[in-house]
């Protein structure tokens, strides 16, 4: 298991929490909650080691559009980049519902 952290600039306050997904094979769990300051922090625990660059590419793309000041925690069981992106978008959708 590998732990990875990223920080992105953010300027919009988020008020609601969201929890989506399951730590099942090929899937992941995302916990999104309001963060502190003008920053978004992402904490990842993944069962597959050695994919830091891929995680960075997926999150760079996600945060190119998303500007919420959040704390995101990800527990991953080998999800593909596409699934990760979908789960992140789903978490945002739930938090803004």
Please report whether residue 76 would count as binding another protein according to CB under 8 A: yes
Please work out the total of residues on this chain that contact another protein, with binding judged by CB under 8 A.
Answer: 18
Contact (Cβ atoms closer than 8 angstroms) between residue 87 and residue 28: yes
Q: Which residue, among 34, 43, 38, 39, has the nearest Cα to 5 in the 3D structure?
A: 43
Shortest reach from residue 76's CB to another protein, in Å: 6
When binding is defined by CB under 8 A, the residue of 27, 54, 67, 85 that contacts another protein is 27
What DSSP state is assigned to residue 86? H
What DSSP state is assigned to residue 26? T
Interface contacts to another protein, rule CB under 8 A: 1, 17, 19, 22-25, 27, 29, 31, 33, 45-47, 73, 75-77
């Amino acid at each position: 298991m590998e732990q990875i952290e990223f920080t992105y600039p953010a300027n919009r306050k988020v008020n609601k929490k969201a929890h989506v997904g399951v730590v099942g094979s090929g899937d992941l769990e995302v916990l999104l909650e309001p963060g502190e300051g003008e920053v978004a922090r992402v904490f990842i625990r993944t069962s597959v080691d050695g994919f830091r660059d891929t995680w960075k590419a997926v999150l760079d793309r996600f945060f190119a559009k998303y500007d919420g000041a959040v704390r995101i925690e990800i527990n991953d069981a080998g999800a593909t980049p596409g699934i990760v992106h979908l789960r992140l978008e789903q978490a945002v959708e739930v938090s803004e519902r």
